[in-house]
């Protein structure tokens, strides 16, 4: 009998205060800051790739799915002439749903697939129609709309902080500079409950 009591006491001492991670529960929320590359990988000689950054607010639903709302900035370039390039900037607001695809038992690693609706404004060469060689730019600023599909992986460092990596394809309409942009990047997610 003393052995059984000793074993039970030892188990209680070992497991007291421990619980599985309280992550991705319904009602929890998070703020995520993202940055990445767009339309290629910048090597120093690339003239057409760009970058993006954004901030998103997410609310967890059942089964770790999330609703996400946020905004972002995308800067790309269009090659012009021998060595020049024309900047194209997009200011976007978006709302989307991220479906939880898979996670490990300890809730440390998650993979999501998502869809988003986008709307915003695009400016070409910051509204300047004149190019350095005297040519006139025919592409203009415009309101844009569209969507995005994404794949994202979250790796939790603690119950409150996660590192993220994502790949997404953005498609926008209403502009004359191109409709598709591939983005990939990293971010950090802060759980604010």
Q: What is the mean pLDDT of each run of 10 residues along the chain (193 residues)?
A: 65 50 80 91 71 94 91 89 84 95 88 96 86 79 94 92 94 87 94 85
In a domain? residue 80: yes
d(CA 143, CA 53): 19
For residue 15, how many other CB atoms are within 10 A of its CB? 9
180 neighbors 171 (Cβ within 8 angstroms):
yes
**The tokens of 156 are what?**
């939790």
Residue 178: CATH number of its domain? 2.40.160.20
Q: Which residues span the domain enclosing 67?
A: 29-191
Please tell me the predicted confidence (pLDDT) of residue 5: 67
d(CA 92, CA 123): 12
Please tell me the predicted confidence (pLDDT) of residue 52: 93
In a domain? residue 24: no
Please tell me the predicted confidence (pLDDT) of residue 101: 94
d(CA 175, CA 169): 17
Please tell me the predicted confidence (pLDDT) of residue 179: 85
pTM of the model: 0.79
In a domain? residue 3: no
Please tell me the predicted confidence (pLDDT) of residue 165: 96
In a domain? residue 16: no
Q: What domain count does the chain have?
A: 1
In a domain? residue 133: yes
Q: Is 173 exposed, middle or buried (0-12, 13-18, 19+ CB in 10 A)?
A: exposed
In a domain? residue 1: no
d(CA 137, CA 88): 12
Which residue has tokens 């953005």?
A: 170
**Contacts of range 100-105, beta carbons closer than 8 Å, 24 or more positions apart:** 100/24, 100/63, 100/64, 100/65, 100/66, 103/24, 103/64
In a domain? residue 15: no
Please tell me the predicted confidence (pLDDT) of residue 14: 53
In a domain? residue 18: no
């Amino acid at each position: 009998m003393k052995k059984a009591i000793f074993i039970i006491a030892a188990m209680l001492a070992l497991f007291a205060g421990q619980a599985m991670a309280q992550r991705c529960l319904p009602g929890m929320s998070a703020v995520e800051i993202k940055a990445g590359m767009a339309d290629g990988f910048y090597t120093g000689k690339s003239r057409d790739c760009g970058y993006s950054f954004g901030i998103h607010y997410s609310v967890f639903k059942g089964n770790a799915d999330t609703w996400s709302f946020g905004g972002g900035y995308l800067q790309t370039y269009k090659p012009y002439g021998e060595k020049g390039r024309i900047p194209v900037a997009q200011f976007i607001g978006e709302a989307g749903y991220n479906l939880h695809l898979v996670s490990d038992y300890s809730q440390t690693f998650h993979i999501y697939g998502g869809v988003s609706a986008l709307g915003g404004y695009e400016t070409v060469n910051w509204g300047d129609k004149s190019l350095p060689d005297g040519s006139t730019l025919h592409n203009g600023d415009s309101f844009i709309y569209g969507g995005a599909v994404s794949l994202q992986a979250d790796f939790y460092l603690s119950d409150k902080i996660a590192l993220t990596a994502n790949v997404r394809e953005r498609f926008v309409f209403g502009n004359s500079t191109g409709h598709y942009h591939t983005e990939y990047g990293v971010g950090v997610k802060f759980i604010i409950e």
